[in-house]
Each structure stands twice: as C-alpha cells, then as structure tokens.
Chains A and B, each alone.
Chain A
Amino acid sequence: MSEKKKTTPLLDELEKGAWPSFVKEIKKEADRPMVKDLMGVLERSYEEHIGHWKHGGLVGVMGYGGGVIGRYCDLQEEFPEVAEFHTLRVNQPAAWFYTSDALRSLCDVWDKHGSGLTNMHGSTGDIIFLGARTEELEPTFADLTNIGFDLGGSGSDMRTPSCCVGPARCEWACYDTLGACYDTTQHFQDELHRPMFPYKYKFKFAGCPNDCVASVARADMSIIGTWKDEIQVDQKEVQAAAKNGTDIQKEVCSMCPTGCIAWDGKKLKIQDDDCVKCMHCINVMPKALKPGKERGATILVGAKAPIIGGALLSSVFVPFIEMKPPYEEIKELAEAIWEFWGEHGKNRERVGEFIQRVGLGTFLEEIGLEPVPEMIAHPRSNPYIFFEDELEEEEEDE
C-alpha cells in the first residue's frame, strides 16, 4: 500500500459544501485497506484528469453470465488493494421499498466481503456493491441468497426490471407496477442471469404517463400506465383549487395539448375523446382530478442511449392493454421480439436499432403484431413503397 498517497487534498475539497458528499461517504469506510487505495487512485485521477480502471474480464459467480462487472486498476503495483475491484449488481426489491432489517442484512454481507461502498442505486435500478476481490464473489453470492437476495443483470441479457412507486403510494398508478415488475423478473430468471441476446434488454414499468422511471427513454420495453374512459372530476375540489389560487384557465385549460378542457368559473368540462392522457391537468389539481376507471397500459418498444446508432425513444407497439396477472400478453410479446431479434440482431445491436434496420413493418410482421395508426406520428411521406408481397400474390393468382 502506498504511504505517499495518504493525503488527498483535491478530494478533501469535495467534503465541503451543503450537498451530501461522496468523499465523506468513502472516508466513512476508509479504515479498510481497499478503500484507502481507492482514495489514492481517485486522487490520482483528479490530479491527472484521467481514469485508472481497466476493462472487465470474465469474472462472475458459477452458473451465471451476468450480475458481476469485472474491474481492474491499471496502477496495481502502487495500489494493490484495488488491483481487483469488481462490482456486484444486486436485484433491488420492486419500487425500492426496504425495511431497516433488510437494509442491515445487506450491509452485513457487504461489510464481511467487500469495500463497504455501494450505490443506492445503480442507473438500471440495482443495489450496487462497489469493489470486491475475485475470491469474494462466490461467498458474497452465497450470503446474499441466504438473506433472500439475488444478482441482477449485466451484459447481453435481460437487465434487472424496475418500476415506479405505483399503487403502493400513488393515486395515479393505472396498474400494479410492483406486481408486474416482480412477476416479470421472476418469470425470466434464466434470461436475467444468462446472457443470450444480441445485447441488453430492459423492462421498465411506469404507472402513468408521467413516467417517473423514464421508461420511454431507457427501456427496450416501456410499459406505461394509461386509461381509456373519462378523467374523474370532483367539481367541488376544482372550485376549491380555483379559490386557493390556481388560475385554472391559464394553468390548466390553456396548457392542455389538445385544448379539450374548458372552465367557465364554476364547472370544468373535459371533451374526453380528445384527451391524449398527458396528465398535466391531473398533476396541477391532484385533489380534483384523477385518471379514469378503465385502466391499463401502453406498451412501447425500443428506447436506448446513443451508442451506437444514435439515441432512440420507445415507440408504440400496443396502444392499450389490460394489465392483469399473470401478464401473459407482455411475456408473449417479449418472447416473440427476443426470438426474431435473437436470430437476426447483430452483436451489440439494441432492439430499437434492429427495428430501424429491418423496418418496423417487417418487424411487426415477424412478431405477429398488426400495424395500427397509433404506432406512427404520421404515415410515410416518401413514395418508395415495398409492394413485394402484393405483387407476388397477384402473380400467383394469374
């Protein structure tokens, strides 16, 4: 261990200030040699303006291909304690609910086997155990499963699904996001732990169009709650909101994207067949307005970050679906997508990119979904139509 690197003046600067400090967090575990060396490596990065971590190798737990990210330091001689500094992704409970006892039992496992540093939580939603030696991976996994936890996804597998707080604490939840997330996670355990896709595949379950888990931007399959019937209006509460200072004309009616709300000073009228379920009016007056009673979800497919073909938002595949256990339609749709993409997708090609390459029309045909106008912003404006199938049929008729 390096005696020279005991001082960390640059990192110490980040202990100051009002916002909670990650440096203070690291220092809380700094009696561990591993964490001392982590401080040393990080201080070096702050001095040199460059990272000191190498690519992951093939590390993991027996029988799983995912859940562990291998990480090695490129300054191993100077900082031997972090020569191996692997990450374990631990599948979080749905909607990140814990009891104090569950949190303590997780801490005890990590206290015994690793750095004592975590992310609560990683970007995909897992509990992240940050920094373990290779020899500690299998014992950590054994202790984790003994307290009832399992690893999450990594690499080209189904990644750990996540969901919003949903019906556990939100009046806007249009379906049971926790139930659907848990059920999907359990059903696809094999796909989660054993990478067999062209690339990653993410599920995110959002209870309403506010999309608090950013599913439309981040999930290969975004399941966003919505409703079919009328917004529930409590006229007395609308009047109360007006009395309490909400300028209903300005803040609600004039900001409605389809102009389907009118307010005459006494009564709120909604032209529901023009409503696109954007949530704005409901967000502004949560006591007066609620989503309708005929609830379900819209399924969208194909979001991703830029690497490599450019960022994509998910696009509509199923405009409305009832969300009831055991969620067979969602599982069948996912499996149909995996089958076609699994066979024809290129290495590291997300399903959204694959759809762009083969064409949405072809993709729908292959997975057995009928095209509907809700899937598009507008029909094609170029005349390069593939009439291939129709022509072949005509020839056969002749």
Chain B
Amino acid sequence: MSATERKTDIGPPHYEKFLPEIIKKNYGKWAYHEIPQPGVMVHVAESGDKLYTVRAATPRLMSITSIRLFADLADKYCGGHLRFTSRNNVEFLLTDESKIEPLKKELGKNGFLVGGTGNAISNIVHTQGWVHCHSAATDASGVVKSIMDELHPHFTSMELPGKLRIAFACCLNMCGAVHCSDIAVLGVHTKVPVIDHNELPRVCEVPTLVSSCPTGAIRPATVDGNKSVEIEDAQCMFCGNCYTVCPSVKINNAESDGISIWVGGKVSNARHEPMFSKLAIPYLPNNPPRWPEVVEAVSSLVNVWAKNARKHERMGEWIERIGWPRFFKVTGIPFTKQHIDDFTHAGETFKRSAQLRH
C-alpha cells in the first residue's frame, strides 16, 4: 500500500451514525424512565415516544461468534440497534414493546442473563488476569465467573436495599480502578520480588528501577559482578511497580499471591459523597478454578448488607451508620494489624474521638 493511501488520526466514527431514529428525534428530550421488570427499562420522551431497553450480561471476554449473534438479534428485534454499558452489559434498543419477551427468551436460550437494573448487582467490571496480563496476581475472568454463578439471582431481580457494585482487579495497578466499589476484589502479591541479577543489567535501566519504588526500598548494588539492585525487604509493600518497569524483578509468586476484599466505596454523589473502598479481608488464597474462599466471602458480605441495610443505603453508607467495630462483629471478619493504614496519609484514618458504641 502506498503511503498516501494510509489513513491515520481519523478518530472513532461519529456516534450519530449508530443512533436509532427514535434517539435522534428525542435526543436530549427524554422526560422520565421506568423499570417495568428486571433488565427492562422504558424511557419516555417529551414527545410521548417510548424506547425500550433490554439489558443482558456479557462475560466481557467476547468471541466474534457471540458478537455476530448480538448483531443478528439486534436485526431481528430492534432494527439493528444496540449498545454496551460501562459495566460490560449489552443493551438492545427496541421501539416495539411486543418484541421484549421474544428477545429475552432468545437471549436466555443462548446463555445471556437479562437483568442488572435498579436495586441489583450489575455486571462485575474486571481486568485481564492470566488470560493476558504480565503482572496479574490471580485470574480475573475465572474469579468473576465463580462469584456471579453464585450471585446471579441478585442480577436478575431487584430485591436488594440499594445498588451493589462489585469490581475486580488482578493487581494493584487496578486497570479496573476498583477502589471505589461497594465490594472490590483485588489480587495481591505478598512476597518481596526475586531478582534475576544476570538478566537485569541487559533488560532494565537501574535508575528508572530505583525511582519506581514508592518507599525507596530499591538501591543500586553490584551482585556477583552484575550491575544490579538490592531490595530492603522490610520496606517493600508488594505494589509491583518495580516489576512493571523491569521484568527481571519478578514479583509473581505461585505460592503466595492471593486475593484481598475491600468494601464500602462508591462513585455516585447520591446522598453520600464518593468514597474509597476500605480493607475488609487482607488475604484469601488463590484457589482455581472456583476460588471457593473468595466466593464465600463476597456472598457473605452481600448477605449481611442485604439483611441489615436500610432502603437505598449503599454498603459504605450502611457501614458508616453502624460503625466499623460493628461491621467486623456482624460479618465475623477478624480485625488485624493489616487493617490499620501505614502509608502516606495513615494518620487520617485513626479514630480520634471517644465517640464509640459499647
């Protein structure tokens, strides 16, 4: 191909090309919406036009075979119009109400659950894990599948006190930015990286590696004649930033990598301001293919919250109302030294009053 034919910097296609007529006509003129049943929404425009949405879960890792199936379903039921959500759900956009049930049936037949609306658990946003990532402390898709095989009744119904958002990231890089979720499941490394001193001088820049450490635990050192580095073990907090800049500092560890659970974060401004998730369980073992300890821990947190929270109260709002001591009591999760922050702004997390429930 000649250089003149090569197209670059064209950007994404204009979204207007993909909007159905009903949306073009009523763009910015929607009056209200209702959720007549789990996974189905109706948006009513000021003009009186009604747009029906059928939302179904996807596993995020999609084959082109299934994407083509979605395209066929969109042709059959909604004039070829569909979209995806920020939480990896697919949404079919219908104008004919009578086609909702047949579409739901066909999605069900193909294994795609309809739901994720209102006071429900929506799809889990997650990262790549062992399918594709170099720094993963655990798999992503497998843990998510295992958790949702257990929790899917909360996806297909709307009987929870409020919304519950679960997110998964397979290491502290948090490509899924899970740090503001009701329940965050996070892969963790727990051992100091092992350095390949023979390889390091060939593939890494020592100054970049030294400056990558947030606690200053890495120092230049000559080991067995190699210009390499040494790590002050006591200062390492297993973030893995060094491994990202230098593959010879190997942090992945089959025996000691595992999973931590965090609770009470949110991004919405509704009622309470956005909040970070906080540590509930520091470590659970990596136990593929079903990760039973993780599934049990997440289900148990969902159940305790569902039983005790008031209507509309998110996980973090519930915990704030009852206080952290009672959270640990009602969940039965042991409180340990690891729950106490010791990073940059640790002091802000200490309790500095006598306002306690006894």
Contacts and interface: CB of A to CB of B under 8 A. Distances in A.
Interface in A248-263: 250-251, 255-257
B270 A103 contact: no
A20 B58 contact: yes
A167 B28 contact: yes
B274 A217 contact: yes
A313 B274 contact: yes
Specify which of A51, A211, A256 lies most central, judged by the most chain B CB atoms within 10 Å of its CB.
A51
Contacts of B86: 96, 125, 162, 164, 212-214
Interface stretch (B30-38, B96-104, B297-305, B327-335): B30-38
B213 to A, nearest CB: 8
Contact of B288 (A10, A64, A116, A303): A10
A98 B64 CA distance: 15
B174 A26 contact: no
B174 A305 contact: yes
A63 B6 CA distance: 11
B111 interface: yes
A71 B132 contact: yes
Contacts of A130: 61, 131-132
Given A64-B8, A99-B80, A120 B60 contact: yes
B28 A173 contact: yes
Interface stretch (B218-226, B227-235, B247-255): B247-255
Given A46-B288, A171-B30, A311-B179, A118 B64 contact: yes
Interface stretch (B140-148, B190-198, B350-358): B140-148
Given A91-B12, A255-B312, A53 B174 contact: no
Given A21-B59, A100-B72, A307-B173, A210 B268 contact: yes
Contact of B134 (A18, A46, A54, A178): A54
Given A92-B12, A167-B27, A307 B32 contact: no
B93 to A, nearest CB: 8
A36 B236 CA distance: 38
B149 interface: yes
B135 to A, nearest CB: 8
A185 B6 CA distance: 20
Given A96-B83, A185-B12, A189-B11, A52 B142 contact: no
B180 A214 contact: yes
B130 interface: yes
Interface in B38-71: 43, 51, 53, 57-68, 70-71
Contact of A96 (B85, B131, B212): B85
Contacts of A63: 8
Contacts of A178: 15
B180 A217 contact: yes
Contacts of B169: 305
A385 interface: no
A378 B6 CA distance: 54
Interface residues of B, number: 117
Given A29-B63, A307-B172, A307-B239, A19 B312 contact: no
B257 interface: yes
Interface in A97-133: 97-104, 106-107, 110-111, 116-121, 123, 125, 130-131
A103 B174 contact: no
Interface string B258-277: 00000001011111101010
Interface string B304-340: 0000000110000000000000000000000000000
Interface string A32-59: 0000001000100110111111111000
| Interface size of A as a range | 35 or more
A355 interface: no
A159 to B, nearest CB: 11
Contacts of B85: 96, 165
B61 A103 contact: no
A150 B148 CA distance: 34
Contacts of A218: 177
A358 to B, nearest CB: 16
Specify which of B139, B175, B286, B343 lies most central, judged by the most chain A CB atoms within 10 Å of its CB.
B139
The SS class assigned to the B binding surface is: loop
A335 to B, nearest CB: 18
A145 interface: yes
Nearest to A170: B30
Contacts of A98: 18, 81-84
B8 A50 contact: no
Interface in A194-208: none
Contact of B62 (A10, A118, A162, A167): A118
Given A14-B145, A209-B269, A25 B61 contact: yes
A326 interface: no
A146 interface: yes
B145 A21 contact: yes
Contact of A14 (B132, B142, B276): B142
A143 B202 CA distance: 37
A301 B113 CA distance: 37
A376 interface: no
B57 A306 contact: no
Contacts of A110: 64
Contacts of A256: 271
B239 A306 contact: yes
Contact of B90 (A56, A120, A150, A305): A120
B82 A100 contact: yes
Contact of A49 (B148, B174, B286): B286
A193 B8 contact: yes
A13 B240 CA distance: 31
Specify which of A110, A125, A167 lies most central, judged by the most chain B CB atoms within 10 Å of its CB.
A167
B139 A46 contact: yes
23 contacts: A14-B141, A19-B113, A19-B149, A25-B61, A53-B136, A93-B12, A97-B82, A107-B71, A118-B67, A121-B84, A169-B43, A170-B30, A171-B32, A182-B15, A209-B268, A211-B268, A214-B180, A214-B267, A250-B311, A278-B271, A305-B169, A347-B208, A348-B245
Given A20-B111, A190-B9, 10 more contacts: A22-B142, A46-B130, A51-B133, A93-B15, A95-B83, A99-B81, A164-B86, A256-B271, A306-B239, A307-B172
Interface of A: 10-11, 13-14, 16-26, 28-29, 38, 42, 45-46, 48-56, 62-64, 71, 85, 87, 91-104, 106-107, 110-111, 116-121, 123, 125, 130-131, 142, 145-146, 148-150, 162, 164-165, 167-171, 173, 176, 178, 182, 185-186, 189-190, 192-193, 209-218, 224, 250-251, 255-257, 276-280, 283-284, 286-287, 290, 303, 305-311, 313, 346-348
CB-CB nearest 8 A-B residue pairs: A17-B149, A305-B174, A167-B28, A209-B269, A100-B71, A100-B80, A45-B130, A19-B148
